[in-house]
Amino acid sequence: MLCEETRQSLSLYVDDCVSLPARVAIDEHVDRCPVCRDEVVELRALKRQLSLLTPPVPPADLAPSISNALAIEAAARRQQPNPSLSRRIGRFIEPWVMPYSAGSFASVLMFFLMFTALRPHFVALREAAAQQRGDVFMIQTVGGRYDLYKPVTAEGLAAERAPFTFQSPTLNPNGALAALTISYARPHAEVVGEADDMIVVTDVFSNGAASLVDVVQPPRDRRMLDEFESALRRDAAFVRASYDRRPETMRVVFTVQKVDVDERKF
């Protein structure tokens, strides 16, 4: 054993409180190490001196004084009125509820203040993500200015187009067809020279749904027409007839153009 390990066990060794293997190891170390052997001698001398001390004697009236104090306390408790059940329950749960309730209230308040401060940034991020995915995300204008807190509604857009809705239905701003037409004007770095156009005829019904009736000028790429038909079937391409104040069924001639946009100048 090393000196450091031995010194940690010397007090138990002197009090005969170590196991037999540990005692044998300490005996062997003490026989070889004079420093640890001198410390064992000092501990044993201290133990003998402590054993010679006279143990303290408690005062003769210690037990009666403790009993009298307990009796006085018990009498004082008996004279106090019994608290109501609600009061006892309140005393029991108060140490548990108060810290948690204060902490919870503070957490909710901090979250509300933080969310209020960051809300414009969340809206801007949502708009950027929607534009990156190719979704349509339009913003209402109030007094000629954009308001991030009021996304445009079908009714609002139809109201802005009121002078023209009788001749042409309003496109659903959140529909698949609107997203498709906007994607045609976005830059596509991986495709060069994909500009194309087509002229089609559609029937628009009262609920905003539409169906392809005729293809006046087909596109060069058949996929463009397939994408157009898929967008018509996916959801309502136009707003309801009641929003536009137009006839329930209209026939519309569509000119769809896919244009090349220089991504560096977009």
Residue 98 inside a domain? The answer is no
Report the C-alpha gap between 255 and 198 in whole angstroms: 6
Cα dihedral value 219, 221, 226, 229, nearest 10: -20
Number of domains in the chain: 3
Q: Which of 178, 185, 164, 183 is nearest to 208 (CA)?
A: 178
* In a shared domain, residues 33 and 126: no
pLDDT in tens, the chain (266 residues): 678 888 888 889 888 898 998 999 999 988 988 888 899 999 999 988 988 888 888 888 888 889 888 888 888 877 777 777 777 777 777 766 666 666 677 778 888 888 788 777 776 666 656 555 544 444 444 444 455 556 667 777 778 888 877 778 888 888 888 888 777 765 554 445 567 888 999 988 988 888 888 888 988 888 888 888 888 888 888 888 888 888 888 888 888 887 765 555 44
Residue 99 inside a domain? The answer is no
Residue 87 inside a domain? The answer is no
* In a shared domain, residues 147 and 188: no
Report the C-alpha gap between 180 and 132 in whole angstroms: 13
Range of the domain at 118: 111-152
Residue 12 inside a domain? The answer is yes
Instruction: Find residue 214's DSSP bridge partners.
Output: 201
Residue 250 inside a domain? The answer is yes
Residue 244 inside a domain? The answer is yes
Do 224 and 258 meet the contact criterion of CB atoms below 8 Å apart? Answer: yes
Burial call 147-183: b when 16+ CB within 10 Å, e when fewer = eeeebbebebbbeebeeebeeebbbbbbbbbbbbbee
Residue 92 inside a domain? The answer is no
Which CATH number fits the domain that encloses residue 211?
3.30.2420
* In a shared domain, residues 135 and 228: no
